[in-house]
Amino acid sequence: MSFESAASRTQRFVAVDALLSGYRVTGKIALSSQGATGVLNDVNRSALEIQDAYLARLHMPTKLVDHFEVVRTLKQRVHAVCFARREDVGPQAIVRGGFLNVVEHQIRITTPIFEIEGMMELPGRFDFSSLISEGSREFLPMFNATITAILLPNLRVESAGVLINRKQADLVALVNQRKN
């Protein structure tokens, strides 16, 4: 029995919406026991494979333009990956980075294309520098999130769990610091 065949049996597929700079890709990705957090933050793989993938242009999010068995993209090009269930993001120990006690922060993140607002679980107080530049996790978990395309407000995705590419972030703001 080869290592590869044994590893493939431990995977399961979950539905995702992957948001890129020009397309919304709806399909399925294979997850291991570490969930999507483990797959997207795997430093040994730079590509993301989406199975049974439907493509829609961002400016027409409901009109499908193509359908493929598999599409591949570089993870660095992905702005966010959305999941229908919070559990698909990964086990709590991995999602929380090993911290038992976390504080929920309502956060808004913008990328060049999207505005994302939702809740992040962080160990203690909000620290922008460590969130964006420290550690090895390229994709940050956010829960109960709403994603809106900046120039295309008809593209609105609500998701129980989202992984956001921190390298795509333009700004991060705490919602409770919003001035009225």
Residue scoring higher pLDDT (159 or 99): 159
Tell me how far apart the terminal alpha carbons of the chain are, to the nearest angstrom: 62
DSSP character at residue 138: S
Mean local confidence (pLDDT), 7-30: 87
Q: CA neighbours within 13 Å on the CB side: how many for 121? A: 19
Single out the residue of 51, 70, 64 nearest to residue 23, CA to CA: 64
Residue 2 has pLDDT above 90, yes or no: no
User: pLDDT tens digit string along 29-63?
Assistant: 998 777 888 889 888 999 999 999 999 999 888 88
pLDDT, position 135: 72
> What integer pLDDT is reported at residue 35 of this predicted model?
82
For residue 33, the model assigns a pLDDT of 76
pLDDT one-digit tens code per residue, 113-147: 999 999 998 877 888 888 888 777 899 999 999 99
In this prediction, residue 56 carries a pLDDT of 94
| Residue 1: predicted pLDDT | 40
> And the tokens for 32?
């291991």
Would you state the pLDDT for residue 34? 78
Is pLDDT at 75 greater than 70 in this prediction?
A: yes
Residue 102 has pLDDT above 90, yes or no: no
**DSSP structure class, residue 3:** H
* pLDDT per position as a tens digit, 140-163: 999 999 999 999 888 899 999 999
- List CB contacts of 74: < 8 A, sequence separation 6 or more: 46, 47, 48
What average pLDDT does range 6-30 have in this prediction?
A: 85
